[in-house]
Amino acid sequence: MFKSLILIILFFKFCTSLDTLTTNKYIKDGQSLISKGNNFALGFFSPGNSSYKYLGICYVKVTPQTIVWVANRNHPIIDSSGVLSINQYGDLVLHDSNNRPLWSTNVSVQDQVTTSPVAQLHDSGNLVLVQDNNKKVLWQSFDHPTDTLLPNMKLGLNLKTRINTFLTSWKSKDDPGTGNYCYKMNLNGSPQVFLYNGSTPYWRNTLSPGNNVSIATSSSGQKFFFVNNQDEISSYYSDDDPSIMTRVVLDNTGLLQKLMWDDGVHQWKEQWSTPRYQSDKYGHCGSYGKCNPDNINRFECMCLLGYEPKSPRDWYLRDSSKGCVRKNSGLSMCKNGEGFVKLEHLKLPDSSIDAALIGTSMSSSECEQACLTNCSCTAFTSMNTDGKGTGCLAWYGELIDILQYTDVGSELNVRVDATELAKYTRKSKRSLSKKRKLAIALVSIAVPMFLVSLLAYIWLAKKKKTKVKRKVHKQSLNFASTRGSFEGHELEDGSTHPDLPIFDLSCIVAATENFSPTNKLGQGGFGSVFKGQLSNGQHIAVKRLSKSSRQGIEEFKNELMLIAKLQHRNLVKLLGCCIPEDETMLIYEYMPNKSLDSIIFDHTRASFLNWKKRFEIILGIARGILYLHQDSRLKIIHRDLKASNVLLDTEMNPKISDFGMARIFKEDQTQDKTTRVVGTYGYMSPEYVIFGQFSTKSDVFSFGVILLEIVSGRKNCDSYQKHPSQNLIGYGNYGEKIELWI
């Protein structure tokens, strides 16, 4: 008799659900296996337009349905139902309605009397079969993936169980059967992960050489791991934020994609994909060829130094399939004065063909000597193998699938004969000589100019210092700054603000670590902003007016007066000021999320800003403007509203800042005119730019531009080459659909 656990699951008819399957539980039609965190479900599905049914795992909270694993991918259920059971041998077995086995875990527990297998669907998406008494894992779906790699799912070889984990594509969107493409680790030479089309390499991803390696790298909220030791050779990734859903999927066309679920728009957003371009494909430039995808107007392929096209005619016609061959200089490459030329920022050549790790603790010179003494060695590289030692990886045959990067990648030392080595050395010396001559010429010109400029600067600084002192005294700011005490400051109407302290310079210097560059938050037309921390632990932002700033004492006084009088949750809070002699500084509350433009125009950070939060930011800015125009005691026109002047606090609440250009209107005043137009082009209204007329409508126009930028993720000043207009507003006026960059 079978001790069976029967499971008939339909994804669209969840009546009851379990997170653990045992022999004591019987699951009827319409039930499902759900992970404890309600992230994944196990059940039957029909892909696309197919009428066949398959047993698989999908996301619970994602619509439309997204499948991450399929059990019977090559043996579909052709009738109306399927049955999943734990048989007498402890195997999970899938049967059709005629009791024909379609799929099995095939582990066969020997001591079934004392061990009762339990099936669990973990919140990671891993279906696990364990022994109930000792929790030993008998089988898991993470060891047998289909087309999807989930966080913490390993890709590679387990040296103890000999299980090789790899991805294979679906045949089509309607058929999850094993397709033509495979993403698999190749252990020959140095470990690499290949994307194969059948048995033909289609794309290659390099890893790190050496044994006893455990390397972790971070990028955009994710960690990538590579492990090479006596137990396993594998790679995997994890997310810093477990609430974010990501997956790597190999589709039926051979495209490998990293996707992230955007809950705001209910879509999977692509983070990266490969191969996207012709140059990404394996061996595009042939043997001894190097591919440079940045050569837009030229052929992207070029031969390595000392090599030439094997077929010049085909190469001229941009057919690089035959690759390159060594130039015929009449000299041998074996102990005949040859040497190595260093190439930088490369994707290293395929190390699965005639390549070997010849040492794990060799210096670069030792590695070069070892390669030089072997006449078959064509190239070598020194690479970090365990975070401490340096490994020597050498190639003994053709160099293929080399890609040129701009500022990343590895070094490769290519063997060349004595003739090519001499040419390269002479060229390097000429280049170095030119650089030296240029440097000497620049120094001989720069030093006298520097001395003259320094003397002129000292003279102007003294003159400006005297002028500023007179201006401060003349405008009667009447600030008094003494050690450990302060007085009230006089506003334009003669009143004082008792809650606005004057900070001592030594306090600000200590808080900002003497205005250290590491504490610098940004810079604008007024000068620089520095992050600081007071002795009581409070974080502050110090706005330091530059001596060369377009804004002067008048703007400083204006901003100080206005913010001191204005109090609103969507306006930045002024904590005080500091005016030691010719310095002018304002001290604000610190905004940890910086300015709005630093988020909405950064594709990585903007992806975490859902539509609800964007709408809240828009409403917050609108409330701040309404307060300035209507609800405050003073009627204020900001005149410089833009994304960089909207700061975000810890909760992403917007706060309008920078009131240096603001103007006060009388209660019955509707507009004013100026001959000095200030602000930022792209945000200023037409009547203000052309005629100098400004009013509350000017701020509303600026707000509209910010709103468009928040919604589209594009800067107003971005160029739109295919359209007559050169900004975001004009682009929309021509009836075009604005592409969202978020």
Do residues 603 and 627 share a domain? yes
The single-letter DSSP state of residue 459 is H
Coil, helix or strand at residue 716: coil
- 498 lies in a domain? yes
- 729 lies in a domain? yes
Do residues 4 and 121 share a domain? yes
What is the C-alpha to C-alpha distance for residues 540 and 574, in angstroms, rounded to an integer?
A: 10
* φ, ψ for residue 148, nearest 5 deg: -125, 135
Asked if residue 472 has pLDDT above 60, the reply is no
The single-letter DSSP state of residue 279 is G
- 742 lies in a domain? no
Do residues 612 and 708 share a domain? yes
Coil, helix or strand at residue 724: coil
Structural domain count of the chain: 6
In the chain, DSSP finds a helix count (H) and a strand count (E) of 11, 48
pLDDT tens profile 590-623: 998 888 988 888 877 887 788 889 999 999 999 9
Q: What is the pTM of this model?
A: 0.57
Note if 123 is an active site residue: no
Q: How far is CA 514 from CA 136, 415, 545, 549, 582, in A?
A: 59, 52, 15, 20, 17
Do residues 100 and 175 share a domain? no
What is the C-alpha to C-alpha distance for residues 635 and 566, in angstroms, rounded to an integer?
A: 11
* φ, ψ for residue 177, nearest 5 deg: -60, 160
DSSP structure string for 400-430: B-EEE-SS-SEEEEEEE-HHHHHHHHHHHHH
Q: Extract the tokens encoding 246.
A: 């990501």
Q: Label residue 323 exposed, middle or buried (CB < 10 Å: 0-12, 13-18, 19+).
A: buried
What is the C-alpha to C-alpha distance for residues 27 and 7, in angstroms, rounded to an integer?
A: 5
- The confidence score (pLDDT) of residue 211 equals 53
Sequence length of the chain is: 742
* Mean pLDDT of all residues belonging to the chain: 80
Do residues 137 and 1 share a domain? yes
- 475 lies in a domain? no
Asked if residue 486 has pLDDT above 60, the reply is no
Q: How far is CA 243 from CA 124, 156, 239, in A?
A: 11, 26, 9
Of the three residues 123, 143, 163, the one that is the final residue of a domain is 143
- The confidence score (pLDDT) of residue 19 equals 62
Do residues 260 and 294 share a domain? no
Do residues 284 and 212 share a domain? no
Of the three residues 89, 114, 143, the one that is the final residue of a domain is 143
Do residues 24 and 128 share a domain? yes
Asked if residue 41 has pLDDT above 60, the reply is yes
- The confidence score (pLDDT) of residue 296 equals 61
Whether the CB-CB separation of 138 and 81 falls below 8 Å is answered with: no
CATH number for the domain that contains residue 32: 2.90.10.10
Binding-site annotation: residue ranges for ATP: 543
Do residues 264 and 362 share a domain? no
What is the C-alpha to C-alpha distance for residues 704 and 499, in angstroms, rounded to an integer?
A: 35
Average pLDDT over residues 124-132: 90
- 485 lies in a domain? yes
pLDDT tens profile 248-299: 999 999 999 999 999 888 899 998 899 988 888 999 999 999 998 877 667 8
Selection from 108-112, 497-501, 562-566 with the highest mean pLDDT = 562-566
Do residues 139 and 149 share a domain? no
Whether the CB-CB separation of 72 and 85 falls below 8 Å is answered with: no
| Pairwise pLDDT comparison (615 vs 732), residue with the higher score | 615
CATH number for the domain that contains residue 520: 3.30.200.20
Average pLDDT over residues 355-368: 85
What is the C-alpha to C-alpha distance for residues 295 and 366, in angstroms, rounded to an integer?
A: 35
- 741 lies in a domain? no
Q: Give the per-residue SS3 of 9-61.
A: CECCCCCCEECEECCCCCCCCCCEEECCCCCEEEEEECCCCCCCEEEEEEECC
Do residues 203 and 267 share a domain? yes
- The confidence score (pLDDT) of residue 3 equals 36
Over pLDDT 70: what percentage of the chain? 78
The amino acid occupying position 99 is: N
Question: Which residue, 339, 351, 411, 421, is CA-closest to 381?
Answer: 411
What is the C-alpha to C-alpha distance for residues 153 and 155, in angstroms, rounded to an integer?
A: 7
Gyration radius of the chain over CA positions: 34
Q: Label residue 734 exposed, middle or buried (CB < 10 Å: 0-12, 13-18, 19+).
A: exposed
- The confidence score (pLDDT) of residue 435 equals 60
Helix axes 611-626, 696-712, angle to 10 degrees: 170
Q: Which residue of the set 280, 350, 640, 699 is catalytic?
A: 640
| pLDDT classification of 554: cutoffs 50, 70, 90 | low
Asked if residue 480 has pLDDT above 80, the reply is no
- 739 lies in a domain? no
Average pLDDT over residues 658-664: 82
Whether the CB-CB separation of 92 and 55 falls below 8 Å is answered with: no
- The confidence score (pLDDT) of residue 311 equals 93
What is the C-alpha to C-alpha distance for residues 310 and 108, in angstroms, rounded to an integer?
A: 57
What is the C-alpha to C-alpha distance for residues 740 and 742, in angstroms, rounded to an integer?
A: 6
CATH number for the domain that contains residue 663: 1.10.510.10
Range of the domain at 138: 1-143
- The confidence score (pLDDT) of residue 473 equals 43
What is the C-alpha to C-alpha distance for residues 303 and 283, in angstroms, rounded to an integer?
A: 13
- The confidence score (pLDDT) of residue 110 equals 58
- The confidence score (pLDDT) of residue 28 equals 40
Of the three residues 573, 589, 605, the one that is the final residue of a domain is 589
What is the C-alpha to C-alpha distance for residues 411 and 390, in angstroms, rounded to an integer?
A: 13
Do residues 132 and 199 share a domain? no
* φ, ψ for residue 529, nearest 5 deg: -120, 130
Q: Please measure the distance between the N-terminal and C-terminal CA atoms of the chain and give it in whole angstroms.
A: 58
The amino acid occupying position 215 is: I
- 131 lies in a domain? yes
